[in-house]
Amino acid sequence: MTVYKYFIKVALKNKWIIIMYITIFFVMTLLNSTDAMKREESFVETRLNIGIIDKSMSELSSGLREYLEKENNIVDILEDEEYIKEQIFLEIADAVIIIPEDFDQKVVNKKEAILIYKDDRKPQALQIENQVNKFLAFANITYKDGRFELEDVKEALNESVEVQLLSSGDSYARTGVDSWFRFYYKFTGYVIIGVYIAIIGLVMSDFRDKNVDNRRKISSKRFLDFNKEMYLGQLTLAAAVTAVFIVASMLIMGKKLGEVYYIKYLVNLIVFSFSILCLTFLISNITRNKYAITALSTVLSLGTSFISGVMVPQELLGDKVLAIAKFFPMYYFVKINDSMIKSLLEVRYELFMQLLFAVVFLLIGLIFSKRAQKA
Amino acid sequence: MSHFIRNCIYQGKNLFREGSYTFWVILYPIILATFFYAAFGGMMDPSFEDLKVGVEENSGITHVLEEIDFINIYEVSKDELVQKFENDEIDAFVDDNLNLTVNKSGINQTIIKEVVEQIKQTIKLNRPIDGSEFSVSYVLGRDQESNSLTVIFYSLIAMVSTYGVFAGVETASLIQANLSNIAIRINSTPLKKQNFLIAGVMVSLLLNLFANAALLLFINYILKIHLFNNIKYSTIIILLGNLFGVILGIFIGVSNKKSSTKTLMAIAITLLLSFFSGMMGPWIKVMIDKHVPFLSRVNPISIMSNNLYRINFLGSTKSLGEGVIILIGYCIMLLFASYLFLRRKSYDSI
């Protein structure tokens, strides 16, 4: 097991850069999945994020504010045009409302009484405009003897319609915890490709040294044995990386593990890791250039993540993009990860595809390795 | 002067012959932009279509809904509801009792609910009205295009403008005798290290600027995403980004590590900073802005990408001055630190 031992030794020599790499990606995974819990769509009513600046502070403006606060989420806002525009641009706020000092007067005279910053291309703009206009129209209807009867307006506005949701699929059954796992494991897929290729490539670059290589060729070590031990070394390193992410997710979610079909995430990630390990084996046999390896690590990890639905959900991607994505194991990994299943049998095809990729990568890798042997 | 030019030419050739350099600086950004475009392109231009509301045949509500110009009405029987929903032919169905049926939650459904509710609420208000009350608009709208996804592209451009980091690493190892053979030779000649270093910085800057220009042309003319309205200030930011990148590269380069380790470090650092600035989704940036606003003020990639979208999309230059000062500050600090490490170096044995 000389080759294996040496492989581990080189890996340990590079431990700091490996640890740094894993830490950086781990931080990214955590941030991405923490945020995911909030990105889940809400049930039936979409609440807009709005900012309100009330300069009038009248009874009418308070009533309006109260109504809007009931229907929407309020975000903090500063009275500064540039700041407001930036919040809209970044979609932190869907609309920002400014109520002027002479608000009541304008409403009574049926003038444009309120300033709203919004993106007119989006339905959210229409929604907020409707809400404001409705409230003010109602208020005006009740206007009598110099005052608004806001209690009546409020009562009327409490009237609501019944909404029946026809369930189409169970996309609504997702809980926050499930979302967390979904995003965490999906992003881990990206990390696996990036980290595997980069750090295994780093360790392999020592083996690819011309002198070492020549010595190996004249040694009595059999070609297949050498590759076997090499692969074992890579497997050890890869298993360690994947284990870090799995154990971390267990530690973070702890008891909540029972709330999701955890075995799906676990099996899927292990199968995917195996498939990527084979890809790494292939790459390290195709090229000796360590720069090319780092380049491939970044392009393959980011590229397949973008087109396979790690960064944006698969349903939002175009058909053509997805058609290309099907040529990479990442697509099947994400598909399983996003699925709502009760048994692994339901995704056997996707699991099989990942394993098939693994076998193909491995075989091509061996062919290249054999060819390099002869050269 | 001729020494300087010769140094520049040699270093330029040296960089160009390095395959990894060409990849990282020219090809990689273009590949990445293409992936971004594939993933996000379709989502960047929201358009508002009229809402599709299904009603029963001869429904009493039809004439009320007909008045509303953003609603299209379709007569649907209850049996075909599921089918119509699945084919996306209607957003919601309203029956004669003003009850709503939907198959998903979303903004369109919410707007329809709001409209139907308004009918019910008006009845509840129980005041004499003639209908003209609802034709008044109390809203003075200020349109501000929202486009948080462009942050991804600005962030990519910001990251790529720091990719002089790779050339910087290379330049630094060319003058350290313990790192490369050429450096051994250079160190044993009367050639001045500082001239060599300055030439390296110049070449790296020029090559990276050239690569940036290629990327910007690609985004503008091939992907047809128009990101730049204010060329003058944008150029200042990108130039500073380049300078920062090269100097960061030299700073990383002067450490006595293997060159593959240094390249990994350079990639990891720029990638992490770009991640914080929103390169993999603007929501990350928004979250950082909310919880650790300090970080986005000092993260060089954030400084660049924030200023780029502020200048070009919002027409605001308010944070430009601060950003420029911080970036220059970084450059001076890193340059000084690298200089401390490089000066008066002698080797007992190589």
* pLDDT tens, position by position, A130-154: 899 989 988 888 888 888 888 888 8
Check whether residue A69 and residue A93 sit in a common domain. Answer: yes
pLDDT at A40: 45
pLDDT recorded at residue B106: 78
**Number of domain units in chain A:** 2
pLDDT tens digits, one per residue of A223-247: 788 888 988 998 999 999 999 999 9
B287 pLDDT band, cuts 50/70/90, is confident
Tell which phi-psi region holds residue B73, choosing left (phi > 0), alpha (psi between -120 and 50) or beta. beta
Residue A44 pLDDT grade (very low, low, confident, very high; cuts 50, 70, 90)? low
Q: How far apart are CA B327 and CA B316, in angstroms?
A: 19
The pLDDT confidence band at residue B157, using thresholds 50, 70 and 90, is: very high
- As a whole number of Å, the CA-based R_g of chain A is 29
Q: Name the residue of chain B whose CA is nearest to A85's CA.
A: B144
Percentage of chain A beyond pLDDT 90 is 23
CB of B193 closer than 8 Å to CB of B199 = no
In a domain, A342, yes or no: yes
What pLDDT is stored for residue B209 in this prediction? 92
| Residues with Cβ within 8 Å of residue B236, at least 6 apart in sequence | B320, B324
Secondary structure string (H, E, C) spanning B170-239: HHHHHCCCCCCHHHHHHHCCCCCHHHHHHHHHHHHHHHHHHHHHHHHHHHHHHCCCCCCCCHHHHHHHHH
Of the pLDDT bands very low, low, confident and very high (cuts 50, 70, 90), residue A334 is very high
Q: Which of A130, A158, A186 is the last residue of a domain?
A: A158
DSSP collapsed to 3 states, B117-148: HHHHHHHHHCCCCCCHHHHCCCEEEEECCCCC
How confident is residue A41, by pLDDT bands cut at 50, 70 and 90? very low
> Going by DSSP bridges, is the β-strand pair B71-75/A114-118 parallel, antiparallel, or unpaired?
unpaired
Q: How far is B174 from chain A (nearest CA, A)?
A: 17
Amino acid at A5: K
Measure A316 CA to nearest chain B CA, in Å.
8
Pair (A183, A227) in one structural domain: yes
Q: How confident is the model at residue B73 (pLDDT cuts 50, 70, 90)?
A: confident
**The pLDDT of residue A170 is above 80:** no
Given a cut of 80, whether residue B265 has pLDDT beyond it is yes
CB contact under 8 A, B280 and A160: no
Q: Do B110 and A45 touch (CB under 8 A)?
A: yes
**Structural domain harbouring A85:** 49-158
Report the residue of B88, B144, B269, B272 to disrupt the A interface, i.e. the one with the largest count of A CBs within 10 Å. Answer: B144
Question: Is residue A173's pLDDT more than 60?
Answer: no
> A24, B42: Cβ pair inside 8 Å?
no
Q: Name the percent of chain B lying above pLDDT 70.
A: 97
The predicted model gives A306-331 an average pLDDT of 86
3-state secondary structure of B89: coil
B81 to chain A: closest CA residue: A166
Q: What is the mean pLDDT of residues A147-174?
A: 74
Burial class (CB in 10 A: 0-12, 13-18, 19+), B318: middle
Which one, of A68, A38, A47, lies nearest residue A124 by Cα?
A47
Whether residue A288 sits in one domain with residue A180: yes
Minimum distance, in Å, between the CA of residue B323 and any CA atom of chain A: 17
Question: Is the confidence at residue A285, as pLDDT, over 80?
Answer: yes
Give the neighbor-by-neighbor strand order of the sheet with A95-99: A73-74, A49-54, A95-99, A114-118, B139-143
pLDDT at position B120, please? 85
Residues 171-200 of A with CB under 8 A from B: 171-172, 198
Query: Is A166 inside any structural domain?
Result: no
Longest dimension (CA), chain B: 100
- Whose tokens are 């700041």? That residue is A83
**pLDDT given at position B237:** 94
* Beta strand B51-55 pairing with B71-75: parallel
Structure tokens at A122: 């989006």
Distance CA B75, CA B97 (A): 16
Residue spans in chain B of domains classed CATH 3.40.190.10: 51-135
Tens of pLDDT, residue by residue over A342-357, are 888 888 999 999 999 9
- Chain B positions in Cβ-Cβ contact with residue A92 (cut-off 8 Å): 286
Q: What is the pLDDT of residue A172?
A: 41
For residue A24, what is the DSSP state? H
The string of DSSP codes covering A59-105 is HHHHHHHHHHHHHSEE----S-HHHHHHHHHTTS-SEEEEE-TTHHH
CA–CA gap between residue B157 and residue B149 (Å, rounded): 13
How near does any CA of chain B get to the CA of A278, in Å? 22
In chain A, which residues have their Cβ closer than 8 Å to the Cβ of B121?
134, 138, 156-157, 159
ipTM of the complex: 0.78
Which burial class, exposed, middle or buried, applies to A154 when counting CB atoms under 10 A from its CB (0-12, 13-18, 19+)? Answer: middle
pLDDT at A299 over 50: yes
Tell me the pLDDT of chain A averaged across its residues: 85
Q: Are residues A271 and A363 in the same domain?
A: yes
Query: Of A373, A13, A361, which Cα lies nearest the Cα of A203?
Result: A13
Residues A103, A24 share a domain: no
Distance spanning both ends of chain B, measured CA to CA? 31
A216 shares its domain with A340: yes
| Contact A144/B at CB under 8 A | no
Write the DSSP symbol of residue A1: -
Report CA Rg, chain B. Answer: 29
Cα–Cα dist A214/A47, whole Å:
67
What's residue B134's pLDDT?
Answer: 81
Residue A289 forms contact with B (CB below 8 Å): yes
Predicted local confidence at residue A167, as pLDDT: 60
Average pLDDT value over all residues in chain B: 85
Chain A and chain B share a number of CB contacts under 8 A equal to 278
CATH pick for B51-135 out of 1.10.3720.10, 3.40.50.720, 3.40.190.10, 3.40.50.920? 3.40.190.10
> Which residues of chain B are within 8 Å of residue A84 when distances are taken between CB atoms?
144
- More confident of the two residues B288 and B195: B288
Verify whether the Cβ–Cβ distance A119 to B286 is below 8 Å.
no
Statement: residue B195 has pLDDT above 70: yes
Task: Express each pLDDT in A78-96 by its tens digit.
Answer: 888 889 988 988 888 999 9
Chain centre distance of CA A293: 25
Indicate whether A124 and A239 sit together in one domain.
no
- Of the three residues A128, A158, A188, the one that is the final residue of a domain is A158
Which stretches does DSSP call E strand in chain B? 51-55, 71-75, 92-94, 100-102, 139-143
Q: How many CB atoms lie within 10 A of CB A326?
A: 14
From the list A152, A294, A318, the residue facing B125 with the nearest CB is: A152
SS3 A218: helix
Q: Tell me whether residues B28 and A160 touch, CB distance under 8 A.
A: no
A137 contact partners, CB below 8 Å, separation of at least 6:
B133, B134, B136, B138
